[in-house]
Amino acid sequence: MTTTERLQRIQIDPQVCGGKPVIRGTRVFVAIVLDALAEGLTPEQVIDDYPQLTLDDVRAALAYAAVLAWEEKASGADGMERGAP
């Protein structure tokens, strides 16, 4: 699956979860998936916690984060701090 195909699994719609990025067809925030992985959970453990997700959904969340990281680097996000959830 290509990055473009993975990113199609991410939905940003003002009518869904206030426009926050979610896994398409769910109300699971991309940020929740990324936080779980950052805390050390494996993709399989994330799927156990959110059975509506697939491995491709977890990979889509990572692909989305990678795209944002490249964009932030390009726009000079030095000193950026993580906001509170």
Do 21 and 33 form a contact (C-beta atoms < 8 A)?
Answer: no
- Residue 30 domain-assigned? yes
Rounded Cα distance between 36 and 18, Å, is: 21
Rounded Cα distance between 61 and 58, Å, is: 5
Q: Which residues face 23 on adjacent strands?
A: 10
Task: Please give the span between the terminal C-alpha atoms of the chain, in angstroms, as a whole number.
Answer: 30
Helix residue spans in 1-85 (DSSP H)? 3-7, 30-38, 43-49, 55-75
Do 59 and 5 form a contact (C-beta atoms < 8 A)?
Answer: no
Please check the confidence at residue 74 and state whether its pLDDT lies above 70. no
pLDDT attached to residue 1: 87
Q: Compute the mean pLDDT over every residue in the chain, rounded to the nearest whole number.
A: 89
- Residue 16 domain-assigned? yes
Rounded Cα distance between 68 and 28, Å, is: 18
- Residue 82 domain-assigned? no
Domain range spanning residue 37?
3-74
Looking at the structure of the chain, the number of domains it has is 1
In percent, how much of the chain has pLDDT > 90?
A: 79
Residue 30 corresponds to which tokens in the numbers above?
Answer: 């991309």
pLDDT attached to residue 85: 44
- Residue 49 domain-assigned? yes
- Residue 81 domain-assigned? no
Band of pLDDT at residue 84, cut at 50, 70 and 90: very low
- Residue 32 domain-assigned? yes
What CATH number did the domain enclosing 49 receive?
A: 1.10.10.10
- Residue 21 domain-assigned? yes
- Residue 85 domain-assigned? no
